[in-house]
Chain A
Amino acid sequence: MQPRDFLKEVTAIPGLSGNERKVAEYIRDKWEPLTDEVSITPTNSVIARKKGKGPSVLFAAHLDEIGLMVSRIEDDGSLRMVGVGGVDPRILPSMRVSVLAKSGRLTGVIGAKAPHLLTEDERNKNYTMGELHIDLGMDASKVKELVQVGDEVQLEYRFTELLNNRVAVKTCDDRACVAILYRAMQLLQDMRHDADIYFVATCQEEVGAFGAWQTSYQLFPDYAVALDVCHAATPDADPTRTHDLTAVVASAGPYLNPVLRRKLMEVAEEQNIKVQTSVVPRYTATDADEIAISRSGIPTILIELPLKYMHTSVELIDTHVIDEAARLLACFAQKINASWEDELWT
């Protein structure tokens, strides 16, 4: 399966932070033929192992997604909502959402008070989450029968192919990086490696990197690479906080291991892979932060995939970068050997 097709399927499957079972099962099934063993943890991270004599390395990308949760059912049958992860209320008006009710998926539309009913002051502002409602097109009695407060709500899914190998779809953050892991597995089928590789799709990153916390404790690898998305340049964003959409990013800063990063950059140069540097003075706000301080510490680096419009329903990436990042990761895995231990702090 092409990574692009994997991305098309995996972004459709529900997996809001805290309830990622369905997407975990999908990922497990796709990873199984490419690895030696695969399992789902009690909190719905997926761990796949591709055996080697060692050292061990953990590659992590998170599988959970941001979305909404039903917080209240009004007497008129409309639903009120809260965000799961950082949802920008500006993206919501007129969005078609799926309420993931026990009885099944219910399509609804997010509505708000019409502009002509707003005061002059309100008309010049964005709606807040509390001013929005979900309309299921049902009477209140039926809504109350089918929907439960606490039901998850998935954002609108439309896999949209644009020019120049670019696609826009919800949840590229971070399933495009899960696709990178998938592609790296494919490449490693024909490559020899010493590394004992753990591919991990982590749960609950969007609410605190809890899956990374748990799985890095469980596996306690010698090295780790976290993969997540970063901001690509757009006309309205600060250029010092964004990167070119069309090339992989390797971050650098105190939370990340400089020796491993140097080794990654050497691989990139050998393989002629263009890599940009992102300078992160403190938190990376990714799984890398938690993995690096697991147990007695794990030397960790961070590879990032530039993405426009993060945390919207139109997260836009260049699919060519998925292939390049996968090649970088696979070649990096191939290089890992026992001698690296001696170089770590020399």
Chain B
Amino acid sequence: MDLKTLCEINAPAGNEGEIRKAIVERAKEFCDDVKIDRMGNVICHKKGTNPDAPHVAIAAHMDEVGFIIRGYTEDGMLRFSSIGGIDPRVIVSKWVLVNGETKGVIGAKAIHLQSKADREKLLDYDSLYIDIGAKDKAEAEKLAPLASYVSFISSYEEIGDGFILAKALDDRVGCYNMLRLLEGSYPCDVSFAFTVQEEVGLRGSMGAAFGIDADIAIILEGTACNDLGDVKERFHVCTPGEGVAVSFMDLSTIADKELFHAMLSIASENNIKAQVKRSVTGGNDAAAFQRAKEGCRTVVLSVPCRYIHSPSSMCKKSDVDAQYELSSAFLKQYK
């Protein structure tokens, strides 16, 4: 299944039905053991050939950031909140889809009507609204009932020097590579977890990690870059085109030292481009795996993505491939 299809599916955290269906369908082509657990995670298991090899879990989250309808104005505008962390500055003058069918726009007071204070003041979720063209509150309520899920309208494009431009690269890149990995066979037992609700607090992966009970967990993610414009070099997180980013630590976990070094050596032995993530920002499903049951050793492999959590995130195709190659080489090492 291509990355375009995966990115264009709408699945804000808590509403992963459509992406789950697509992934289950595809996974069944390459794996006999595909299950949906009680949280809604998709778990696929492939038995290894070497009984002495560890049980490895590999995980990517299916959900993405989005919005949810929480009220109306008298004249038919929709009040909403974000699901996951979306800086409200990136949504002004953008397009959204409500309940997968009703189009809307997020407008703002015209520049001609703004006071000096308006120009400076941040437009937050209390002041922004979605306009679907409804005549009044009743029409708005009918077409966009409370708790309707909302996604960015955003198409997949390829631009510049091998860049992909799409929404939800965080973490459809991980899902895409896990589906590719599912096509292979490995000496070790591998459990593939496509998780839910990562963007609202790593909630799906807790159940997944508990159920899988792996020895080692590898998390495939998309992570921020902050490598352009006004950002001083010492704050750059990682660089697109320099390969898959291996984390030594982030806000939720410290990588297992041995796995961290193993990833870097396997990359160099196999001529796979890899870089160390140079910042400790962000958190991900590794935290849930690390703390499940007696605990498990974890490491995170990320595709550097610019402008994550926006309708226009960007990553380099070669880095997506590097994430696949490194995780594949890692799984194949247990001969």
**Hey, which bits of chain A sit against chain B, CB under 8 A?**
74, 76-78, 86-88, 90-91, 93-96, 106-109, 111-117, 123-127, 131-133, 135-139, 142, 158, 160-164, 166, 168, 231, 233-238, 241-242, 285, 308-314, 316
**Which residues of chain A are near B314, meaning CB under 8 Å?**
109, 135, 137
Main secondary structure of the interface of B (DSSP, over half): loop
Q: Using a CB-CB cutoff of 8 Å, which residues 93-132 of chain B contact chain A?
A: 93-95, 102-114, 119-123, 127, 129, 131-132
Closest CB in chain B relative to A29 CB, distance in Å? 28
CB distance B111 to A237 under 8 Å? no
24 A-B pairs with CB atoms under 8 Å apart are A88-B114, A90-B119, A91-B108, A93-B89, A93-B90, A94-B91, A94-B312, A95-B94, A106-B159, A123-B122, A126-B120, A127-B89, A131-B229, A137-B159, A137-B240, A162-B105, A162-B131, A163-B102, A234-B107, A235-B77, A236-B127, A311-B110, A312-B110, A314-B131
Q: How long is the Cα–Cα vector from A109 to B240 in the complex, in angstroms?
A: 15
Do A107 and B159 form a contact, CB below 8 Å, given A162-B103, A162-B104, A163-B139? yes
Q: How long is the Cα–Cα vector from A234 to B171 in the complex, in angstroms?
A: 36
Q: Could you list 4 further interchain pairs (A-B, Cβ under 8 angstroms) beyond the known A131-B230, A138-B160, A312-B92?
A: A94-B307, A95-B94, A135-B307, A234-B109
* Selected contact of B307 from candidates A88, A109, A311, A316, CB within 8 Å: A109
Closest CB in chain B relative to A81 CB, distance in Å? 11
B118: nearest chain-A partner, CB-CB: A236
Closest CB in chain B relative to A53 CB, distance in Å? 41
Closest CB in chain A relative to B98 CB, distance in Å? 11
* Selected contact of A314 from candidates B102, B107, B160, CB within 8 Å: B107
Q: How long is the Cα–Cα vector from A18 to B316 in the complex, in angstroms?
A: 36
Residues 133-147 of chain B: 1 if any A CB is under 8 Å from the residue's CB, otherwise 0? Answer: 111000100010000
Do A135 and B95 form a contact, CB below 8 Å, given A124-B122, A235-B129, A309-B107? no
CB distance A309 to B110 under 8 Å? yes
B123: nearest chain-A partner, CB-CB: A90
**Hey, which bits of chain B sit against chain A, CB under 8 A?**
73, 75, 77, 87, 89-95, 102-114, 119-123, 127, 129, 131-135, 139, 143, 153, 157, 159-163, 165, 224, 226-231, 235, 240, 281, 306-307, 310-312, 314, 316
**Which residues of chain A are near B310, meaning CB under 8 Å?**
93-94
* Selected contact of A237 from candidates B94, B109, B162, B240, CB within 8 Å: B109
Q: How long is the Cα–Cα vector from A142 to B106 in the complex, in angstroms?
A: 35
CB distance B95 to A90 under 8 Å? no
**Which residues of chain B are near A163, meaning CB under 8 Å?**
102, 132-135, 139, 143
Do A133 and B110 form a contact, CB below 8 Å, given A94-B94, A235-B73, A309-B105? no
From B120, B123, B134, B159, name the one whose CB has the most chain A CB atoms within 10 angstroms.
B159
Q: How long is the Cα–Cα vector from A78 to B227 in the complex, in angstroms?
A: 10
A96: nearest chain-B partner, CB-CB: B312
Closest CB in chain B relative to A314 CB, distance in Å? 4
CB distance A125 to B133 under 8 Å? no
CB distance B226 to A113 under 8 Å? yes
Do A142 and B161 form a contact, CB below 8 Å, given A126-B122, A164-B135? yes
* Selected contact of B95 from candidates A93, A164, A314, CB within 8 Å: A314
**Which residues of chain B are near A314, meaning CB under 8 Å?**
93-95, 105-107, 131
CB distance B87 to A236 under 8 Å? no
* Selected contact of A158 from candidates B109, B111, B132, B153, CB within 8 Å: B153
Do A117 and B235 form a contact, CB below 8 Å, given A88-B111, A135-B306, A235-B77? yes
